[in-house]
Structure formats: structure tokens, C-alpha cells
A and B are shown apart, each in its own frame.
Chain A
């Protein structure tokens, strides 16, 4: 559900047209549409590089972790998941809220990684590294739109 759908659902619940506060919020959202598009494009184009660089940073701080265990299959799976989270952040930037991340990647996430035996503390650090590298790829405006979703993701681990 995007920021637009959310405002509509709220209004519908109350049987009214959108309030001027809601419309102002949507106007702000539309106003930086171009930045949203370019942020999403950069995350997409640089996903592999972000994941690779972030892994190097992560392993330097936390060498004893499944993705650095010498098992290439594990490394690939961990990096694949990190790439997926970057994709979900790009959806959030376009949607103007965190629903895509929550619905697709956070609901049930802890149970899944606990069951896989992946230490959540390590993942949290890995995601911090992903955020740092991603912020370097985006300009400050794009970064400001994407950062809250990376932060929410980091908090969730």
C-alpha cells in the first residue's frame, strides 16, 4: 500500500474526502517524484556493487559469520538476501512509505533467520554496512528519501 492508497483508505474509513493535511502530504510526495525515480534507478543499477562493497566492510568487522565461512553457497544466499532488501527499499522510496518492506521483508523475518541459524546481530551489522555503501551511491536528496527505510530495516534485526 502506497502513501496515496493509505491516505485514501483513511478517508474512506471516515466517509470523507481527503483532508487538506493529507492532500499537502501527497503534494510533497509528488513534488519529489523525480528524485524518487532516480534513487530507485541507482539502487537497481548498483545493487551488486553495494552488496559486494558492504560485504567487505562487514567481514572486516565481523569475520566469523555464515557469509564468510568459506562456503560459497552460504555467501551467495546471504548476499542474495541483502540484495533483496535493497530492492524492497527501492519499492518503499517509490511508494512513499514502508509498507512494501514490512509486508514483503519484515513480517516473519526474525523467525526465518532464527530457523536458518543466521545470527540476527550479524545481519544487523551487515545491513548497516549496506546502508553506508548505498548512501555513498545516492546523492544527498536521494539518500534522505531512502535512509529511513534502511534505518527501519536495521532496527528490525
Chain B
């Protein structure tokens, strides 16, 4: 995977040059936002299970999807849904820390649409849950870090469409 630092170093090395100008400025900004990122990652990691419960309660729980015939019925599929939403949250948190989307492409989105298609997992409710997750996360971590998490959760949403 790439992160914002290696994404700057690799092309500089190809040219045999030091990091300077725009690239160094980008790293400076990344370092400056580091504290916010670490704090948010810690808050999200500590309350991941409760973020997922709240997300499901606000998006899917009271719809037809949890009833017999729905895609979150029976319990096995409900648990699979929780597991996948937790993956999304965890990888979005990694990407937010790295300030780079490549880990989402490599580890989450690569083949996801096809897998969901073959398993019959509906995309629209998944996206609805991810939209709700954005709100729930922002409530926990605050507006600035929430906005940053939105970028990566939106990247997953875009990849599902």
C-alpha cells in the first residue's frame, strides 16, 4: 500500500531529487494534521462496535432487510453485514491515517462489487449504511476529523456504484 509519504518519495526518487516545493509543503500539512488523525483513529478504534451498532440502528435495522426474506436475515447474514461494515470502518480509518486511498482500492474495493453481486448482497442498502456511518463517525470524532473520514467512506461508496 501507499501512504501520503511514500507517494511523495517514490516519484522524487525516480527523478533523483529531494522532496521540495509543493511535495514538501504537502508533507508539512500532513504532519500538521497528524495529531487530529491519530486522535480520531484512537476514538474510532475504541468505539468501533458501538459505531457499527448505531449505524445499523439508524439505517437498516427497522427496514424489510432484517425480516425473513431480507438480506440481513437470518442471524448469519446479519452478522456478516456487521462484519463487512466493521471492515469498511477499519479500512477507512487506515486510509484516513495514511491520507491516501490506495489501501481501500487494494484491500476493500478490488473485486468487492463482483463478490457482492455473486452473493446477492444489495448495493443500495450498503451505501445507505455507509452514508449513515459518516454521520455517526462525525458525531464521535468532531467536524474536522469527520470531514476527513467522509473522504474515505465516500471513496468506498463511489467504488460500490
Contacts and interface: CB of A to CB of B under 8 A. Distances in A.
B13 A100 contact: yes
Interface stretch (A21-29, A71-79, A147-155): A21-29
Interface in A38-83: 40-41, 43-44, 47
Interface of A is mostly: helix
B90 A17 contact: yes
A95 interface: yes
A87 B9 CA distance: 10
Interface in B6-23: 6, 8-9, 12-13, 16-20
B2 A34 contact: no
A33 B35 CA distance: 11
A20 B13 CA distance: 33
Contact of B97 (A18, A41, A91, A100): A18
Interface of A: 1-2, 4-5, 7-9, 11-12, 16-18, 20, 23, 26-27, 29-31, 33-34, 36-37, 40-41, 43-44, 47, 84, 87, 90-91, 94-96, 100, 104
